Amino acid sequence: MKHFLVKSVVARVLVSGGSQNFTRHFVTASAAAPELKLRHLYGYLPRMSSTLAPSPAEKDQQQKQEKTASEEKRENENGVVSSYWGISRPKIKREDGTEWPWNCFMPWDTYRADVSIDITKHHEPATFGDKLAFRTVKFLNVLSHLYFKERYGCHAMMLETIAAVPGMVGGMVLHLKSLRRFQHSGGWIKALLEEAENERMHLMTMTELVKPNWHERLLIITAQGVFFNAFFLFYLVSPKVAHRFVGYLEEEAVNSYTEHLMAIENGKVENVPAPAIAIDYWRLPKDATVKDVIVVIRADEAHHRDVNHFASDIQYQGKELREAPAPLGYH
């Protein structure tokens, strides 16, 4: 008798407890966060879920999922790969509500250039390394002016293919150093890679405006092969002189873009509408022209000039880059 009573009490507790738990679970799931909690519930109680009628919220969610799946299928049929094992890029909009058209950069990579930056600043060469860097840049500048003459667009494009290399090499060398020594870089890896990416965006903008001919393409390929390897060795041997060299390269870039702007003002170069990529990247007005683009690119070059002279100065003081705060977040 005793055994029978104990068994019936245990059975009641189990039955009522189980059903109470299930009820509480279901109510919480459907009321608070239906999508997440129902998925959780279905995961554990698949047979129970099949007997329940879907709520309006569930129906809505289901319709949305079906719509997304059919859109994805249609895009895939049209030859556009919209996801990678189910990981899709969320729909991104501009501030005006139109769809973000670029895959190569996102709205949070865009910025407004600081056009108030001093474009006349010059670092007076003081040491032997400074003078060597300065003279080398001046010599290269004479060669490029002789080759390109007044083809400002082609000159700028050639310059950008070179200018995007030092940041990548410097960032890579610092990255490897950080791995070898188990040390933080003080943000300098990111700062230099940001510079390289910004220079590459200058190039992507220029290629919308200028179409290089075959011998210019050949020159670019040759110059990259030589310059990448030479600068890599240069950076390993003397990073302080390498940064000084880049500082002077950027000073020349500022001068080149000033000449480009003068050519636009004199009517030698047509002030055509700005490429769409430039309008989004620098958050320019919709009716911006190439002149506006050159102004913001020149401001970027002036910023790179200051970053690289600063990087050189730190090392001339006998310190490592990581000991000084990296100029992050400009781009």
304 is known to lie in a ligand binding site:
yes
Work out whether 251 is an interface residue with Fe ion (CB under 5 A).
no
Partners of 83 in the β-ladder: 88
**Is 150 a known ligand-binding residue?**
no
Question: Cβ 322 to Fe ion, closest distance in Å?
Answer: 23
Please state the φ and ψ torsions of residue 98, each to the nearest 5 degrees.
-75, 155
For residue 199, state whether it binds Fe ion (rule: CB under 5 A).
yes
* Least distance (Å) between residue 242 CB and Fe ion: 15
The answer to whether 210 touches 272, Cβ cutoff 8 Å, is no
Instruction: Examine residue 191 and tell whether it contacts Fe ion (CB under 5 A).
Output: no
Asked if 163 is part of the footprint of Fe ion (rule: CB under 5 A), the reply reads yes
Tell me: is residue 301 an annotated ligand-binding position. Answer: yes
Please tell me whether 25 is known to bind a ligand: no
C-alpha torsion sign, points 294, 297, 303, 309: negative
Stretch in the footprint of Fe ion (CB under 5 A) among 113-121, 158-166, 225-233, 312-320 = 158-166
The answer to whether 254 and 302 are in contact (CB under 8 A) is yes
Residues 184, 178: contact at Cβ < 8 Å?
Answer: yes
Tell me the closest approach of the beta carbon of residue 240 to Fe ion, in angstroms.
19
In the complex with Fe ion, the residue whose CB is nearer, 200 or 240, is 200
Question: Least Å distance between CB 300 and Fe ion?
Answer: 6
Q: Tell me how many residues contact Fe ion (CB under 5 A).
A: 7
CB of 31 to Fe ion, least distance (A): 56
* Amino acid at site 229: N
User: Using CA atoms in the order 91, 94, 97, 99, what is the torsion angle rounded to 10 degrees?
Assistant: -50
For position 194 contacting Fe ion by CB under 5 A, the verdict is no
- CA nearest to 122, candidates 313, 306, 314: 306
SS3 per-residue string spanning 78-103? CCCCCEECCEECCCCECCCCCECCCC
The rounded distance, in Å, linking the Cα atoms of 189 and 175 is 6
Does position 123 interact with Fe ion (CB under 5 A)? The reply is no
CA distance 236 to 240: 10
CB of 140 to Fe ion, least distance (A): 15
Stretch that binds Fe ion, among 9-17, 28-36, 69-77, 242-250 (CB under 5 A): 242-250
Q: Is 123 annotated as a binding residue?
A: no
Question: Applying CB under 5 A, does 202 fall inside the site for Fe ion?
Answer: yes
Decide: 75 and 64 in contact? Cβ < 8 Å: no
Q: Which is nearer to Fe ion, 292 or 301 (CB)?
A: 301
Each residue 56-95 as x (binds Fe ion by CB under 5 A) or -, in order, gives ----------------------------------------
> By CB neighbour count within 10 A (0-12 exposed, 13-18 middle, 19+ buried), where does 100 fall?
middle
Q: How far apart are CA 189 and CA 59, in angstroms?
A: 49
Q: From residue 259, give the alpha-carbon distance in Å to each of 135, 149, 191, 225, 282.
A: 21, 11, 28, 28, 21
CB of 216 or CB of 301, closer to Fe ion: 301
Q: How far is the CB of 248 from Fe ion (least distance, A)?
A: 11
Q: Binding string to Fe ion for residues 286 to 325, with x set by CB under 5 A, is what?
A: ---------------x--x---------------------
Annotated binding site: 160, 199, 202, 250, 301, 304
Annotated binding site for Fe cation: 160, 199, 202, 250, 301, 304
Binding residues for Fe ion (CB under 5 A): 160, 163, 199, 202, 250, 301, 304
